[in-house]
Chains A and B, each alone.
Chain A
């Protein structure tokens, strides 16, 4: 019994155990349902298959989850405006390119413009959270509502279509490249973020501020500025995700771009084993979390659940995971375990 316990403990202490377990479970279910799940074929010169599809579709979510991870780590909250900001940035991109046969302005300028809008949204959120001390989710609620409204104004409440074929490259395939472009974009975002966190001290700063902002101030960190920066970064992530999304459909529908993604992003962070109340985080955990969510979505689609019904199941998963993270439940669990093993946990004298 003891040996079994220690084995269990060793396994559960592997980093990223929880996210990997979740992903594994989802994949198993899929494999049973669809034996051809892992098959990858080449059609029309590009890779094709369930797995590719999941990775492709999860790209946007991965990017959002990266931003959300940093926001949650630094400010113990979530940015719920990411979906609306995505829609707004997508709308700005499409509207600035126009619906004609040729772009109204160079593609790159339009992309930069969209990212700039993302930065501005991040500045608004970050300012409210760090300098005005508004609770993160309340602060981001403003753009959560207004974002889509502004997007509708930008598009004149129409669904706009972009004609030049190149526009679809970002959301589909580059010519002669068999792997979907969003995968590259997501990889680039993850790698750049990872490098920045590794090669500068920002990663440590964000965790320190999230864990103990008072102590962080006394060792010379500018807590407010660090929180502010994570929101701006999250805004940029939302913009990039929005660009991918509009490119996928070659159009902008401000009502539907990035709909419900805020929940998915929060869920990805939570499944990634990250606490939503700030502190230590694992970027890779969130990435795996995002893929898990997309796999779950794809699975549910395969089970003929309609897109509108999906939130029901996801909400249940969120609540279960968050409830398991809750200090009250953890205490129950600890009590239960200490009753079993009778070993008193070592407490520390203040």
Chain B
């Protein structure tokens, strides 16, 4: 494999200027926020090009601009073989221009056969009717050519996600084969499936296709890619050949601190405040098949435990398993030295847990209900159906938290959907603070909200810990975690791989742990 890659790379160098896609100075504003700022991106034939960046870096926006799912304000896109700049208005148009995309969720029809999914919209006909025999034969041949050995007459839902993805890829390159975008295709695949996908990708690369590979898994980048483009906060950080960018450097570039500056980060938190740790919650071998591998974790009063790791590393899954949002199927959980049997989130709440989910809109707020109702809902659920919180108390609680958290709302009866993102998040925080939990899980509480509110939430987290609560804090922004966390758990590949505490918590150490042992 090494040999082949070297050979290939030489070919690449010889064909310098073999660009099939160039994007220049792409700028896109998203309701006043600059989502992409003068971003350049170049894709050559015969290469697999990783597009890297943390949440909000602008990866998906760049892809959307390229595929015509979103418009852009300025800049130009050129595709080899087309003489003028290209603006795609829809994914279909992009496909006609030679750009196909395969997403993590397979956009094929599970109820149709593999061959039909391959051909749909362009079925082969004989005597005016569909010629199934030829279609099956041709599809079979197309898959054989890609070394995918499957029965094309079975319906797609007989196959694993990995195969479905390959079918989608085969279809995409069969329709138009210049640029193939793979948007996090490996998120739900296991190791051997990933390896099979990779060999397919290499095969396509060797046929002259340029592949844009979006992923959060560092190992995979080094396993399959030739080149890396890193974005951060909507700006281009740089384009690198893989061999010139060691893993640690990549993490540093994605996370936003140059490697040398790392030591300079200060922590606002007063250290060593807790002298005699009292364990609040302890997980022993807790795990959830297919989501998070078994882990041990114990959290004490006054602890702010950070979960760090790249997206998809199992951060949220760990939290969800503890709260019972996904039912754990192995191990046990003890809270305040009592064994818990959690069958539903309500059990976790009754034991004194609180959970602010990652996806505010889908799992957090109840859009049409008022601020008041959203705030008291959790406490009410804890109390049960018959012990209704009196109107007076409801209003008192709501006003109290609107005041404490400085929630900006015209009044407490406003539907929560009319609030800004940051204020919605505060409403959910208020909902949980009202239940006076011993253990709070905050999954990305600061995502997508303004800087001022971010700081407020960070302060709140620290002060909650000082009040003796245990807090679990998940964030993609490492600085934020350094500022707030007293201990750090490092996650990689759906398992807990390490724990840092005290002076060990430096950006340097965290990044090393995230990047993992093997370096390229």
Contacts and interface: CB of A to CB of B under 8 A. Distances in A.
Direct contact of A and B (CB under 8 A): yes
Given A208-B366, A218-B355, A348 B344 contact: no
A337 interface: no
Interface in A165-193: none
Contacts of A219: 345, 349, 377-378, 381, 431
A205 B383 CA distance: 13
B363 A214 contact: yes
Given A217-B345, A218-B345, A211 B355 contact: no
Nearest to A208: B366
Interface in A194-244: 199-202, 204-205, 207-208, 211-212, 214-222
Contact of B378 (A207, A214, A220): A220
A350 interface: yes
A11 interface: no
Most chain B beta carbons < 10 A, residue from A207, A212, A214, A219: A219
Contacts of B362: 212, 214-215
B306 interface: no
A349 B366 contact: no
Contacts of A216: 366
B337 to A, nearest CB: 23
Task: Output the residue of A207, A214, A215, A280 with the most chain B CB within 10 A.
Answer: A215
A222 B346 contact: yes
B386 A200 contact: yes
B364 interface: yes
A220 B367 contact: no
A350 B383 CA distance: 32
Nearest to A278: B368
A60 interface: no
A215 B382 contact: no
B369 interface: yes
A279 B386 CA distance: 21
Interface in B404-439: 420-421, 431
B31 A201 contact: no
A207 B388 contact: no
Contact of A349 (B373, B421, B431): B421
Contacts of B377: 204, 208, 219, 221
Interface in B152-183: none
A39 interface: no
B365 A202 contact: no
Given A215-B363, A219-B431, A347-B31, A280 B346 contact: no
Contacts of A207: 366, 368-369, 373
A30 to B, nearest CB: 35
Contacts, number: 87
Contacts of B380: 201, 204
Contacts of B346: 220-222
Given A211-B368, A211-B369, A217-B345, A349 B30 contact: yes
A205 B380 CA distance: 9
A115 B325 CA distance: 38
A222 B385 CA distance: 11
Contacts of B385: 200-202, 205
Given A204-B373, A204-B380, A220-B346, A349 B363 contact: no
A220 B382 contact: yes
A248 B385 CA distance: 37
Interface in B346-385: 346, 349-350, 355, 357, 361-369, 373, 377-378, 380-385
Interface string B330-354: 0000000000000011100110000
B255 to A, nearest CB: 23
Q: How large is the interface on A (under 10, 10 to 19, 20 to 34, 35 or more residues)?
A: 20 to 34
Nearest to A207: B369
Given A200-B388, A349-B421, A221 B381 contact: yes
Contacts of B344: 217, 220, 222
A221 B431 CA distance: 14
A283 B331 CA distance: 47
A211 B417 CA distance: 12
Nearest to A280: B368
B33 interface: yes
B85 interface: no
Nearest to B320: A218
Contacts of A350: 361, 421, 448
A280 B361 CA distance: 17
Interface in B17-71: 30-31, 33
Contact of A220 (B33, B345, B364, B368): B345
Contacts of B367: 211-212
Contact of B325 (A202, A212, A218): A218
A214 B358 CA distance: 13
A212 B357 contact: no
Contacts of B31: 347, 349
A215 B365 contact: yes
A280 B345 CA distance: 24
A226 to B, nearest CB: 9
A248 to B, nearest CB: 35
A103 B445 CA distance: 67
A221 B346 CA distance: 7
B386 A204 contact: no
A212 B345 contact: no
A280 B370 CA distance: 11
Interface string A324-350: 000000000000000000000001111
B382 to A, nearest CB: 7
A205 to B, nearest CB: 7
Interface string A129-171: 0000000000000000000000000000000000000000000
Given A201-B384, A204-B377, A208-B366, 8 more contacts: A200-B385, A217-B325, A218-B355, A219-B381, A219-B431, A220-B349, A221-B346, A222-B344
28 contacts: A199-B388, A201-B388, A201-B389, A204-B369, A204-B380, A205-B381, A207-B373, A208-B373, A211-B367, A211-B368, A211-B369, A214-B363, A215-B357, A215-B364, A215-B365, A215-B366, A216-B366, A218-B323, A218-B355, A218-B357, A218-B363, A219-B345, A219-B378, A220-B350, A220-B381, A222-B346, A348-B420, A349-B448
Among all A-B residue pairs, the 10 with the closest Cβ atoms = A220-B381, A220-B346, A219-B378, A220-B349, A201-B380, A212-B366, A200-B385, A211-B368, A208-B366, A211-B366
